[in-house]
């Protein structure tokens, strides 16, 4: 395999994770048909950090949720801990009103896109949420 062939599939992943200008453009409506994006927000180590029994809010993530909701995007809160847990945490952070639903993360996905299911998504890391 040539070096060029190796870098071609890797480069889009790196760009998705670190191209903040692209992310900002992606989240800004370009016309009335694109104003509403669908955004899934995780709970643990995204909205909160847990140390023992103590839950510590991550303010930049909560602010990101509020900004995206205000901008008209559709937000879902999901967690491996389930929908009720996701709702409890969002409520404790006073951002529950920003979400249209609280969901468990899926165990199985039936979709024709297979491994490429999320290849068009932009990933925002919690540490960078305040940049968006």
Question: On the CB side of 81, how many CA atoms lie within 13 Å of its CA?
Answer: 14
Q: Distance between CA atoms of 54 and 25, rounded to whole angstroms?
A: 36
Render the burial of 6-42: b for 16+ CB within 10 Å, e for the rest: eeeeeeeeeebeeeeeebeebbeeeeeeeeebebebe
What tens-digit pLDDT sequence spans the chain (132 residues)? 444 443 344 444 444 444 555 566 666 655 444 568 899 999 999 999 999 999 999 999 999 999 999 999 999 999 999 999 999 999 999 999 999 999 999 998 888 888 787 777 778 888 877 776
CATH of the domain at 95: 3.40.50
State the total domains in the chain: 1
Is 0.75 surpassed by the pTM of this model?
no
């Amino acid at each position: 395999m040539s070096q060029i062939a190796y870098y071609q599939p890797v480069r889009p992943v790196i760009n998705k994770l670190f191209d903040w200008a692209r992310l900002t453009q992606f989240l800004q409506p370009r016309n009335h048909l694109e104003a509403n994006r669908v955004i899934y927000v995780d709970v643990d180590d995204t909205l909160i950090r847990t140390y023992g029994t103590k839950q510590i809010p991550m303010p930049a993530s909560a602010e990101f949720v509020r900004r995206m909701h205000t901008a008209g995007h559709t937000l879902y809160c999901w967690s491996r801990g389930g929908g009720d847990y996701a709702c409890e945490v969002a409520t404790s952070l006073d951002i529950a009103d920003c979400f249209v639903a609280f969901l468990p993360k899926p165990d199985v996905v039936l979709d024709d896109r297979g491994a490429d299911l999320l290849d068009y998504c932009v990933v925002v890391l919690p540490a960078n949420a305040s940049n968006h």
